[in-house]
Amino acid sequence: MLNFMRIIILLFAYVAAAFAEIPAEENKPAPEKFNAPKEVAPGVFEIGVVRVDKGANTVSFPAKVNMVDGLLEYLLVTPQGSAHESLFVTDAPPKEVHMAMLLLGAKGMEQPKDGAAQGRIDSEFLARAPKLTGDKITITAVWKDKDGKEQVTPVERWIVRMIHSRKKASETVPAADGPWLYTGSYFFDNRFIAQTEGALASLVTYPGALINNPRSGSNDDHQWYVNKETVPPKDTPVTFTIKLEPK
């Protein structure tokens, strides 16, 4: 346990230093607060509202249902992100979710070689977007139904894909079950893009998000919709749980 705690301290120091911005001017705002991991039980740590369970290999934090109908580009964002096109919103800072995933041993993707900001997600960007790599994860939402009974749902069950074809009418199918991809975002110009953009999980290919969608159709920003037949009411509280799968 002592060695593990030492690793946590070193990791926190490394990540905090990476996130901190060095003021270029005297009147530049000081770096925002960064919560240190706190052990609350053997193998269980809290980083602000983010909870890390080493034994279960999970990271959990509160969120809520944000959309019950319409076109989606994101699975999860902060209120400062693109909330108008995201199924969930959360107040959990992306930087602290990322630190929690690092504690579990996630590696994420290789940092973009050009180091450039990705810009707006549109058809032009998606047409040239690189194939992303990362760690396989599963994502579930724990919530209570109208009778107060706790439910556990893979988040992809609340999403549908609309397949467009020139030869026949568009077809709506459930999103495929299976893992998501923890890509881990990247740094550009001394900024952590996921934190800056409020982007935790994207349904269309976006290297700036912590999590990406590996399913077919992720290169099209007009294919993903809320499954309005299954999604709980708007503002339903959920516990968003990410499980890092074995290598």
Sign of the alpha-carbon torsion through 7, 12, 18, 23: negative
The backbone torsions φ and ψ at residue 4, rounded to the nearest 5 degrees and listed phi first, read -65, -40
Query: What type of residue sits at position 113?
Result: K
pLDDT of residue 17: 54
Q: Give the CA distances from residue 173 to residues 154, 156, 168, in Å, rounded to whole numbers and listed in that order.
A: 16, 12, 15
Sign of the alpha-carbon torsion through 162, 167, 168, 169: positive
CA angle 216/219/224 to nearest 5° reads 70
Per-block mean pLDDT, blocks of 10 residues, the chain (247 long): 54 57 48 81 96 97 98 97 97 97 93 58 61 92 97 98 75 94 92 95 94 91 94 98 94
Q: What pTM, to 2 d.p., does this model score?
A: 0.85
- 143 beta partners: 151
Q: Which residue has the tokens 């290598």?
A: 247
pLDDT of residue 131: 75
pLDDT of residue 221: 82
Distance, in Å, from the CA atom of 182 to the CA atom of 58, rounded to the nearest integer, reads 13
Query: What type of residue sits at position 127?
Result: A
Torsion angle defined by CA atoms of residues 193, 197, 200 and 203, in that order, rounded to the nearest 10 degrees: -110
pLDDT of residue 189: 85
> Does residue 156 contact residue 88 with C-beta atoms inside 8 Å?
no
